[in-house]
Amino acid sequence: MREMTTTSASGLRRDTLPFRLYEKAKRLGVWNPRDIDFSQDKRDWANMTEEQRLGILRLISQFQAGEEAVTLDLLPLIMVIASEGRLEEEMFLTTFLFEEAKHTDFFRLLLDTLDVHEDLSMHHSATYQKIFYELLPQTMQRLKHDSSPKAVADAAVVYNMFVEGMLAETGYYSFYQSLEKVNMMPGLLEGIGYLKRDESRHIGYGTFLLQRLICEDPSLYDYVEERLGELLPLAIALNQEGFDANGDRTDDPMAVDAEAVMEFSMKQFQLRIEKLQRAKDRSIEELYRMPEEALGVL
Which domains, from first to last, does the chain contain?
Answer: 17-295 (1.10.620.20)
| 3-class DSSP string for the chain | CCCCCCCCCCCCCCCCHHHHHHHHHHHHCCCCHHHCCCHHHHHHHHHCCHHHHHHHHHHHHHHHHHHHHHHHHCHHHHHHHHHCCCHHHHHHHHHHHHHHHHHHHHHHHHHHHCCCCCCCHHHCCHHHHHHHHHHHHHHHHHHHCCCCHHHHHHHHHHHHHHHHHHHHHHHHHHHHHHHHHHCCCHHHHHHHHHHHHHHHHHHHHHHHHHHHHHHHCCCHHHHHHHHHHHHHHHHHHHHHHHHHHHCCCCCCCCCCCHHHHHHHHHHHHHHHHHHHHHHHHCCHHHHHCCCHHHHCCC
Per-residue pLDDT of the chain (298 residues; tens, 9 = 90+): 778 888 888 889 999 999 999 999 999 999 999 999 999 999 999 999 999 999 999 999 999 999 999 999 999 999 999 999 999 999 999 999 999 999 999 999 999 999 999 999 999 999 999 999 999 999 999 999 999 999 999 999 999 999 999 999 999 999 998 999 899 999 999 999 999 999 999 999 999 999 999 999 999 999 999 999 999 999 999 999 988 877 666 677 888 888 899 999 999 989 889 889 887 788 899 999 999 999 999 9
pTM score, whole prediction? 0.95
